[in-house]
Structure formats: structure tokens, C-alpha cells
Structure 1
Amino acid sequence: MTIKKLTVPGPKAQALLARDAAIISPSYPRDYPFVMDHGRGSEVWDVDGNRYIDWAAGIAVCSTGHSHPEVVKAIQEQAEKFIHISSDYYHPKWVELGEKLDEIAPFKEDSLCFMTNSGTESVEAAIKLAKYHTGRSRFIGFFGGFHGRTMGALAFTASKSVQRSGFFPMMGGVTHIPYPDPYRPVLNPKFYDDYGDAVIDYLENTVFAQGVPPEDVAAILVEPIQGEGGYIVPTKNFFPRLREVCDKHGILLIVDEVQSGMGRTGKMWAIQHWGVEPDIVCIAKGIASGMPLGAMVARKSIMTWPPGAHGNTYGGNPLSCAAALKTIELIENGFMQNAAEQGEYIMDALEEMMPRHPSIGHVRGKGL
């Protein structure tokens, strides 16, 4: 069998890369000279006809693969009716999606949702709501966390210093603490069976006792599984105890499910692996199979802000809402179960390999 050797980037790609360099902002971290032509399922083709497997799913966005025919059909049907109506008015898909998000939200209490265009916008909305509802102005974030690059979200992002370099001062009032990473612990784990307990004790006995009055803290913002920070899965005690701390001090618990949500871990929301209910959840990426959409979903008792307190132009646009409704249907009807089964298989296989491969230091993850 002859294996074709790819020429990457090919001539067509090289020409477009040169045009891109002349006109597009250099701030995008381009890691590979791939210029896409089309995609189907998990496969993509570049403009020179080279075929690839997309292991990144468009940065965790293409939750149903590229151009799933049912999602494409839903978008086309909506586009034939109308493409845009401002958020000053109403449209059926917006309401239908809001009802669906309320149905699947990771808390028992009825919820309300605010539609956005991205994960960063969802986080910004959560920050504003937490400030408004609690009347407090301080927050707790985590080292290794990624929540976006706009100035509010960036105050929490702490995964790579280049993302913050040159933008000081950011929004004030955010204090970072270590994430419960048992493989590379920052705190001394000597006296703990569960490293999550060490992190919570540090929060209570050092941060709150010596530096940040808990009564000033509006919310704790956390990824249930850190993404850019290294796909770190917290130890079992961390989230139950974090919920206890929030309840004790009247602090809101905001979970950033932008990357970990929408069935990717084998459950609709990663936080559900620990049986903990947050107060606010931030959503985007995989919600609409590649269409620009996000949402901030909160307990109804928390979303108390009045008309005009927050808004946008394109959030909840009809095409994205139609794509999201079909995407969630597909996730619930097989994709989420597949993520659970394939994830378990991959974890078992990698753990079996560890003793034979010293280069593997730690195997972690949930689902896909």
C-alpha cells in the first residue's frame, strides 16, 4: 500500500496565508497552516485537497461533527423565514431554546437565560448579574482557568501570561487560588487524602481569614474541568465542599461549562459528575454545532435585574437558535451516550498503557 505524502501547506493554502498575513490581526494564535475548504463529520479537507481528522472539533465547538445534515437543514429552514430580528422583539426559536435550556439546566429551581454570541460574553453576563444580585464586588477565580479575553473575563483567565500581558489594570477584585490538581499540587497535600480538601481549607483559612472578607465576595467562577489549564479533573471532595462554602457565606457559584458542557463529558454538564448544583452556568461552544451562540443560565431567583441592565444585538439570533435546538436533540439522542462510552474505553486503554510507557505521567479526563 502506498501512503500519499501530503504537502502542507499546499500552493493554494500558501497563497491565502500570505493574503491573511497582510490584512488580519496578528493576535490570533495560529498553530498550524491549515486552510479549510469543507468538512463532513469528523473529517476536514483543505483548499489543496488534503484530508484530515479534526481531533479538536473546531476547539470543542462542532459537537455533532462538521455540517451535520440535520443541523444544516434546521438552519436552512429558519433562513428561508427570516435571518434576524433585534432583541427588542421576540421570535419562536428563542423562546423554544430558552424552554429547552430551562429543562436541561443543572439545577432543580426554575431558570431564566440570557442569550449571547460566545463563551466570553456568557461569562461577562454572569459577572454583571452576580454583582447586581448580591451587591458585592469581589470574586474568586482559579490559576489555570480560562474564561475569555475581554476585560472582565480576562480578570479571571490565568492559564497563560501572554493573554494578560499589556492589559493591566483589568477589572479589580478578583483573587486567584490554586485549582485542585492532584498531579501537580501547589499546596502541600501531605495531610490530606483528597487534595480538594487542601484547596478548600486554603480558601477558608488563608484567603478568607487573612485577606478577602467573604461577605464582600459576589461569586466564585470555576470550570468544572479545566480546559486550557490541562484538562484537569478535580478530586471528589472539591465541588461538594465548594458548594458548602458558597452557601455558608452567601456567595454565588458560577460554573463555566463553555468547553465542558453540552454532553462532552458523558453528562450534559460536567458539574453533574459531582452531584452539585451551581447558581449560574455559562454556555457556548458546542451548543449550536458551530453557529455563534452562547447563554448565561441562572436560577430564576437570581436573575433579578431590570430591562436595560444588560443586552446585545445578535445574541439568540434565529439561525443559531434553530441550530442549537437540533444540536441538543442530537446530543440527547446518542451523542452524549457515545461520549460516555468512548471516554471510558479510552481511559481504560491509556491507564493500561501507563506501566509500559514511563513517558505517561498522568491519565485524566471524562468522556471526550
Structure 2
Amino acid sequence: MLSTRLARRALGGARQGYAPLTQRSRTFATQSYDSLVAFGQKHVTKGLGRQVEGVMVKGEGSYVTFGDGKRFLDFTSGIGVTNLGHCHPKVSAAAAQQCMELVHGQCSIGFTTPYLQLIEKLIPMMPDKSLDSFFFWNSGSEAIDAAIKMARAMTGKQNIIGMQGAYHGRTYGAMALTKSKTVYTEGFHPLMPGAYSLPFPYWHHLGTPVSTSSAELSAASLNQLNLLLQQQSAPGDTAAILIEPVLGEGGYIPAPHEFLEGVRKICDENGILLIIDEVQSGFGRTGKNFNIEYSGVRPDILTCAKGLANGFPLSGIVSRKELTDKLNPGSMGGTYAGNAVSCAAAVAVADAFKSENILANVQARSTELFDALHAVKSNPTTREVILDVRGQGLMVAVEFASPTGTGEYDPFRKPGTPARLASRVAKRCQEKGMLILTTSVYEVIRFIPPLNISSEDLKKGTQIFTEAVEEVVREG
């Protein structure tokens, strides 16, 4: 805990209680702010990485402010969490009210009203009416762990097949199926046994041209799935196949309908469950409540988190009652699982989606975003360094060329291209007042603005990005 003296100095010398956040932000002296940053650098574990060496003190809508007074347009949304913007008034009010009624009602003791209200709100939003049995936990990683446990118990089988490039989290079960970067697993082996992976239908993974049709990409990956079931994990040993319908940390690549339909068919033929991970792509991020709606494919288990409670820790694992009835009471749970305050916030999120026409805004802003990014791609100054613009809704990515790629056998290496384009462009955007993230082992920048972002703020963000790309490319 910070000493009283250090806390007062860091917060601008307040002597009696805490000043309001806005006042504290204004009264930060440069040295005091630097001292607080230095304190964090010294005492926060090195295992956490940061894009900005600073202290965030206020979030409002599409903007976040740091203690030194710098205000940023936030195209990260807490990595797809604050889908309704920072501190949405109705969501924050609902959480505050719940704090005065019941903060923690442990799920193994009894129901809480917000937990049941949230189920009532979510049932009509589900991508398939068969999804009618809910368990709420805290994080996306925990949701994946719960889905793995459920699949194994429901089928009596152990193995789980995931996707190359997937990200499912950093807890032990989820980490075994996370294949987007080795940084998440390096040094932590042995991982959970029974985890297998196959290539995602993504042109760069498969080494095919960007123009390769979705049918061809799907056929290649489905062929690999059939081989995996014949060579590595027999159907009789395979409990589930786990898929992000839009590959997240792996590069924001939507899965083709043909692939999802083919996987569903293989699962049905072999008694394998299909787990759809909508932790990042769910809750309107791609223009529908859940991305899997675009394909019409039915999940056996669906996981969600991030945008579910707009910043309050909450995740959901949804399945069919006929399947969850196979679980033994007590096999699921957790001290903070389905926290009452988080559930109250999530109820307000569901209400806001309807009353504020969020999906319509996503679709309108998505068109504007893609138009702006395609303009960058066709710009004579920058077109040679952009390989792809892709995504759905407001889950969008730009992939740049690289002089080295993933190594000498990467068919898309472009010698002479400026190095580290994604990280350099992201840094330049930050210098211009916008936070944006890179992703994957390739040179990719991802766009995750709030779903209720205005047309004006979206235009401001795309202008910053355009300028940043042009400047970095000219620097070489």
C-alpha cells in the first residue's frame, strides 16, 4: 500500500481525504506524477506489459485521460471491454445502486436478483434458442477453463482441438489452447495435456494469396481437421473443437461461413462439441449480438466476457440445459463468480444496446471505418506496404508488409519494406493523441473503438492513423 505521504504527494498534496478525480488530475505536479509512475514501475510485477508508462485517472466516452493531463482518443476500449465507452452513465449508475443493496452474494449460497435478471436479458440475445443454461464467472480465461471442464464432463472425453493463432487467455487451461504468440506460454510448460491445434483458414497461415477464396481456405483447414482426427486425436478421444469466429489476438480474421459449417458437420458426425469463443467478438463488436449469427452455425457452448459488463469483471458460459444437467452440483463455481455488481452493470448494458440502437451505430461506423482504411490501402504513398484490410463491424485490422516476416520461408516477406511498421505506426498514433494496439506475430494493427463512437470521433481517429502511416512510410 502506498504510504500516506507518497499518496498525498502523488495526488497533488491533498491533506484531507481524496479530491475528486478531475481535481486530482488537474493538481498533479510533474514531479509528483513521475514519482507515482516510478513507484508503479518498481513495485508492479514485471510480468505485466504496458503500452503507456503512465497512470490513467479518468475515462469518459471515447476518451481516457492520464494523470499528467494528456487526453487520448481510445481506439482500444480496454481491449474490447468498454464497448459502450468509458463510464457509461447508465451502466455506472446501475452498478452504484447495486453497491448499496448487495455487493457480493456468493453463487454457492443462493441466487441474486441481478444474476437472474441478466439471464432474462440474455436469453433473447443468444444466437440459438437452444442456448438456455448460464454460468457467470469473472474473466474470459476462466470462461474458457469452464467450457473445457464442461466439455470433458459432458462427453466423457478429454482432448480439445483449437486453432493456430487463437488466443483464449492465460490461465492454465486456456493457455494450453492459446497459439497466437509464444510469449504467453514460454517458460510455463508443461501445459494442460490433450490440447491440439489446426491451421485457421487464413491466407498467411496457409501460404496462399490474399485473394484466395473463402471456400478454398475453408477446404484446406477442414482437410487438416480430418487429418488431425485420423492422425493425432481420434473422435472417440475428442471432447470439443474450440473456435473464435473472428480470430482475435491472431490478427482479426473472420472465419469463413464454409469453415464454420464444415466444423459443425464434423462435430455432429463424431459426437464432438463445438465451443464458440465470443469473448472479444461478442456483444455487438462485429455488428450483431454475437458474430456466430452471421453463419447461422449453432454452438454447443458459447463463451463471452469483455463487453458483457462494460468494464466490470464478468464472463459467461452458455450451453444447453440437457448438457449442463450432466454436471455435478459443485463442479462449477468460484468465490466471485457472477458478482452482483457486475451482473447489475451487465443488465444495464443489455438495456442500453436496445435503447441506444448500438448495433445500428456499429454498422454505420463500420462502413466509414472500412472506407477510410481502403483509402489508405489505395494511397500511392502507402499501398505497397499494406497487405490486407479485414474484419467485421468495429473489429477491424490492417496487416502491413514486413521485410523479414516470420522468417526466410514466409512467402509474403517484402525486402525493402520499412521494418516494424505496426508498432511504429501505433507509437506515432499515440504521439498524435490516439491509443491503438498491434496484434499477432505479423505486422497488424487492430481497431477496437467504442461501439457508440460518434462519426466525428471515428473520422478523427482514421485521420490520425492515415497521417501516422504516411509519416512512418516516408521515414523508411
Q: Bin the TM-score by the shorter chain.
A: over 0.9
Q: 1:83 to 1:137 in 2, by over 3 A?
A: same
**Conserved 8 A contact 2:54-2:66:** yes
Change (3 A) 1:42 1:202: same
1:52 aligns with 2:72: yes
The residue type equivalent to 2:232 in the other structure is: G
Q: What is the number of residues matched between the two proteins?
A: 358
Partner of 2:335: 313
Query: Which of 249, 270, 281 is the matching residue for 1:260?
Result: 281
Task: Give the % identical residues.
Answer: 39
Quick one: which of 391, 395, 399 aligns to 1:365?
391
TM-score (norm 1): 0.93
Pairwise CA RMSD: 1.8
For the 8 Å contact 1:187–1:199, the answer to whether it is kept is: no
Counterpart mapping for 1:57-96 below 5 A: 57-87=77-107, 88-96=109-117
Secondary structure (helix, strand or coil) at the match of 1:254 reads strand
Partner of 2:266: 245
Q: Which residue of 2 aligns with 1:5?
A: none
User: Which of 356, 364, 376 is 1:341 aligned to?
Assistant: 364
Residue aligned with 2:177, SS: coil
Aligned to 2:23: none
1:175 counterpart (170, 186, 196): 196
Q: Over alpha carbons, which structure has the higher Rg?
A: 2
Q: Is the 8 A contact 2:305 2:314 kept in 1?
A: yes
CA–CA distance in structure 1, aligned partners of residues 269 and 276 of structure 2: 18
- For residue 241 of structure 2, the aligned residue among 213, 217, 220 is 220
Structure 1 Cα separation of the partners of residues 141 and 375 of structure 2: 38
Superposition pairs for residues 1-368 of structure 1, below 5 Å? Answer: 11-87=31-107, 88-182=109-203, 184-186=204-206, 193-204=215-226, 206-304=227-325, 305-333=327-355, 334-356=357-379, 357-368=383-394
The secondary structure found in structure 2 opposite 1:312 is coil
**Farther-moved stretch of structure 1 (76-85 vs 259-268):** 76-85
Which residue of 1 is the match for residue 7 of structure 2? none
The residue identity in structure 1 corresponding to 2:79 is I
Structure 2, unmatched stretches of 5+, are 1-28, 395-476
Q: Quote the Cα distance in structure 2 between the aligned partners of 1:175 and 1:188.
A: 23
Q: For 1:216 and 1:56, how far apart are their aligned partners in 2?
A: 39
Q: Residue by residue, what CA displacement relative to the aligned partner does 1:33-56 show, whole Å, maximum 9, x if unpaired?
A: 231111110111111111111110
Please give the secondary structure, in 2, of the residue aligned with 1:240. Answer: helix
SS in 2 for 1:201: helix
**Conserved? CA contact 1:145–1:159, under 8 Å:** yes
Q: Partners in 2 of 1:100 and 1:90 — Cα distance?
A: 16
1:230-280 deviation digits (Å, cap 9, x = unpaired): 111123311111111111111111011111100110000011111111111
- In the superposition, the TM-score normalised over structure 2's length comes to 0.72
1:84-119 deviation per Cα after TM superposition (whole angstroms, max 9, x unaligned): 121111211111112222222222215111110110
Gaps of 5+ in 1: 1-8
Q: Find the counterpart in structure 2 of residue 3 from structure 1.
A: none
Report the CA distance shift for 1:199/1:13 in structure 2 as closer, same or farther (over 3 A): farther
